[in-house]
Amino acid sequence: MKKTLFIISRSPWKTQDVKNIVKFSATGDSVIFIQEGVYYAGNLPEGVEKDIQLLRQNGVSLYFLGPDLLARGLKEPEKSVDYDGFLDLIEKHENIFH
């Protein structure tokens, strides 16, 4: 089965990206939050936290780009990666959606 990496770069207050990823993702897929998407690491709008939990329950790995978290003064969650880690994720997945 082909693994997919979903890249989220927009704020959780401006988009429904995670809701769409819940529909199209499968076990073994990954999501990386970059740019404004790193705000998913903080307090989320109503309903978005539920979608994040669904992704985790469905076996989708979640990552955050560390330098983008740092630039916005956000605390790094347990699965943060640097630019090299981001490139590793891209190499490990056969499909990339942004």
Rounded Cα distance between 5 and 94, Å, is 8
* Per CATH, domain 4-97 is 3.40.50.720: no
Rounded Cα distance between 45 and 92, Å, is 31
Residues 23-71: tens digit of each pLDDT: 999 999 999 999 999 999 887 887 888 999 999 999 999 999 999 999 9
Q: Where are the domains of the chain?
A: 4-97
C-beta atoms surrounding 41 within 10 Å: 20
Q: Residues 3-13: what's their mean pLDDT?
A: 94
The answer to whether the CB of 32 falls within 8 A of the CB of 66 is no
Q: Supply the pLDDT for residue 87.
A: 96
Q: Does residue 1 surpass a pLDDT of 70? A: no
The answer to whether the CB of 12 falls within 8 A of the CB of 75 is no
The answer to pTM > 0.85 is yes
